[in-house]
Structure formats: C-alpha cells, structure tokens
Chains A and B, each alone.
Chain A
C-alpha cells in the first residue's frame, strides 16, 4: 500500500474522470519511474493552467486571454451566434463542422435543481451581446434534453425582444444525447439543417 506523498499523488489522479485507484496508481508509477521530465512538465502546466485560464469576456469559453482567439478573429461572420452548453461542444462544432460564426458558452443549462438559473448561465452577458445589434441569428445548439429545451426557449424569448432570429439545430441529435459525443457527419448535418425555433 502506497504511503505519504506517493499515496497523495495516486489519490490526486483519482479526481480525473474515468480514473480509478488502479489506473491512478499506474499513472503515478509511470511518471516516477519512466518519465520524470514529463511529470514535471505536466505539473507546471497544470499549475499554470489552473491559475491563468479563465473565461473569455465575450463568449465565456475557457481561455487565458481577455478575449479568446475565436472572438478576436476578423474573418468570422459576426451576424451568427451559436449558443452551446459547454466548451467541449464549442470545440466539437469548431473541429467537425465548417461553421464560422461566433459562439456563446453557457457552462450549463437552465436547471433549477442544480442551482442553475438565468444568472448562472450568463443570460445578462448574452443580453448585452444581443443589444449590440450585430447578431442577426442565434443558433441554439443546446442539448435535446428538457433542460436544453427550456434553455433554448428562454434564449429565444430574449432574442425576440432584440428582434433576433433564432434557429435550433435539429437533425440526428438523439433524445437525451450530448453533442460532444456525436460524430462529425451528424454534427455537421445538425448545424446545416437547423430550423426556425419558436
């Protein structure tokens, strides 16, 4: 049985998703016995990332910059704003589709029992964004769960107050499914096949 610092390290690895005691132990031994440089590098990066990475002031995605590289880009279509629940979903859409508008990351969805109301998912920021007047279409890419639907409705009402059109991604997204785990074809089709949301 590991003790002291070694035990603490193993326990710390267990905070990762999908990592139990056994794999944590393997990771710890691997770094200590075979790749101390890799381990030090990982340690420093983890430390820096946890200190410096915050949220983009415009889209709320994870970045160490005030404004992320997507939001700073001049080559994107500033009339399109795609609303996603997580940074992982932003990445999925960015990598797997040819969507080139802007994003807004909720970091969740309306779910009162999880303590997530309009304030927690950035509705004030979104309101300000819509009030700027550049966005002409909000693409609702929230998940097809009841919480995702409620969120889509909330945002569509807000968009309507600013005379902004809302569309909802539709095709092939399974009920209760999550965008992050869809294949590229399905996800591309979901974006291009979006339809008016009412």
Chain B
C-alpha cells in the first residue's frame, strides 16, 4: 500500500482507465485500473483525492489491484481547481516517470492543503514551482549570485537563465529586488511587489524548463 494522488486518467479500452499517479516512493507512474470506467472506483479515482494504492505486474504499465480514499478529497473550489490543474500539468510535464523524488509527494500534498486556506494561493504555486524545479534537478540558486556573492535584500539583480542571479543588470529586461529572491528562497513573502516579481521570475524558469511549450492550464487564468 502506498500513498498516492491521481494526476490524470483517461478511458482505456471499453471498461478500464489508464491512470497517471504520483506515488510515494515511486514518483510518477502509470497504472491500469481494469473495469474501473463504471462504478464505485471511478468516483474514488479523482484528482486531489488522497489515495492508497496497490498494484501488481511487471513491465511499463502495471495493474491496479486496490485503491482506497484515505481521507476526504481536498476542498479545492473555484479558481483553486485551476491551481490544482496547474500543479498536475507541471508534474506531468516536468517530472519524468520513475524518478522517485520522495519529497515531491509531500510537497504536492502540502501545497494542496495550503491552497485550501491560503489567502494568497499564488504564493503557494511559487513555492511549488521552485521546489519542483529543485527536486527535478533544475538547479535554482536564489540566495547567492553567480559571481559568488550573497544576495542582499536592498540590491537590485537580474536573473540569467543558465547562469543564475547576477548584479549585472545591463542586458536584463526584468529587474528583481534582492528581497524577492530571499523571500522565494526562504518561502516567505512580505509584500505585493515580491509576489509579482516572484511570479515573473518563476514563469521564466518554468517556461525555459518546458522548452517554451505552453501550459494548457494557464489558459484558465486569463
């Protein structure tokens, strides 16, 4: 039995579902739920529902043998559902199958939990984006510059994709205040400017890591 979340499901043959799950200790993995297209299990196998799963078989796609809801689904309503879809799309696009990334399961669950109550859901997204990039090996250093100096809160910087934070702002189209970088690094923001700058910076990093192929879930926020 492993803790898991469903990221995506689609019909498979007549009565089955092909699932893509985020599973503790396994990372992202596909599973076939045989006969699950109708009936009770279909209601359980929903996104944002904490699950425990069991499976058997070998090869690339194994067969789900047991799925259970461990607690009630996370209460994501209205725009928060869009946020949830965004997280799922990021995981599907940035986390390769089979990359165990133990932390990510916790990070994902925590983000969903926080989203329910947070006054500023966008900040939860920023935290998730940063942790996802770090967990998937896309190094992001925000508390020191590529010249090797520690970032100071009252200095202005720019961010060069591929190099990192730099004090050289001559070629930059977007400046970032040191306090924004430190806020992201520490996971705590203080003002609206930080939230805005953090959003622009993370968007550049995410877009770059996706080779600039657009995210479908972003269309919902327009």
> Which A residues contact B (CB, under 8 angstroms)?
17-18, 20, 110-119, 145-146, 149-150, 153-154, 174-177, 181
Contacts and interface: CB of A to CB of B under 8 A. Distances in A.
B148 to A, nearest CB: 40
A142 to B, nearest CB: 12
Given A115-B216, A154-B220, A176-B42, A146 B81 contact: yes
B220 A145 contact: no
A115 B79 CA distance: 18
Contacts of A146: 46-48, 76, 81, 84
Contacts of B44: 176
Interface in B61-97: 76-79, 81-82, 84-86, 88-89, 92
B220 A113 contact: no
Given A150-B81, A177-B43, A117 B219 contact: yes
B10 interface: yes
Interface residues of B, number: 30
Interface string B104-132: 00000000000000000000000000000
What 9 pairs between A and B have smallest CB-CB spacing? Answer: A176-B43, A112-B216, A112-B217, A117-B219, A150-B81, A113-B8, A175-B43, A153-B78, A112-B85
Contacts of A181: 38
14 contacts: A112-B86, A112-B216, A112-B220, A113-B7, A113-B85, A113-B216, A117-B219, A146-B47, A150-B81, A153-B79, A154-B220, A174-B43, A176-B44, A176-B45
Nearest to A114: B10
Contact of A117 (B14, B42, B46, B216): B216
A150 B220 contact: yes
